[in-house]
Chains A and B, each alone.
Chain A
Amino acid sequence: AQSVTQLDSHVSVSEGTPVLLRCNYSSSYSPSLFWYVQHPNKGLQLLLKYTSAATLVKGINGFEAEFKKSETSFHLTKPSAHMSDAAEYFCVVVPVGGYQKVTFGTGTKLQVIP
Chain B
Amino acid sequence: KAGVTQTPRYLIKTRGQQVTLSCSPISGHRSVSWYQQTPGQGLQFLFEYFSETQRNKGNFPGRFSGRQFSNSRSEMNVSTLELGDSALYLCASSLEGTSGGTGELFFGEGSRLTVL
Chain A residues within 8 Å of B, Cβ to Cβ? 32, 34, 36, 41-46, 49, 51, 90, 92, 94-104, 106-107
Contacts and interface: CB of A to CB of B under 8 A. Distances in A.
A43 B108 contact: yes
B45 A32 contact: no
A104 B102 contact: no
A46 B106 contact: yes
Chain B residues touching A, range: 20 to 34
Interface in B67-114: 88, 90, 92, 98-110, 112
B43 interface: yes
Contacts, number: 77
Contact of B104 (A49, A100, A103): A49
A70 B35 CA distance: 31
B42 A107 contact: yes
Interface of B: 4, 33, 35, 42-45, 48, 55-56, 58, 88, 90, 92, 98-110, 112
B99 A97 contact: yes
A40 to B, nearest CB: 11
B104 A90 contact: no
A96 B105 contact: no
A100 B102 contact: no
A94 B45 CA distance: 12
Given A96-B99, A101-B45, A104-B45, 7 more contacts: A34-B104, A42-B110, A44-B92, A46-B104, A94-B102, A96-B103, A107-B43
Contacts of B55: 99
Given A99-B56, A100-B56, A32 B43 contact: no
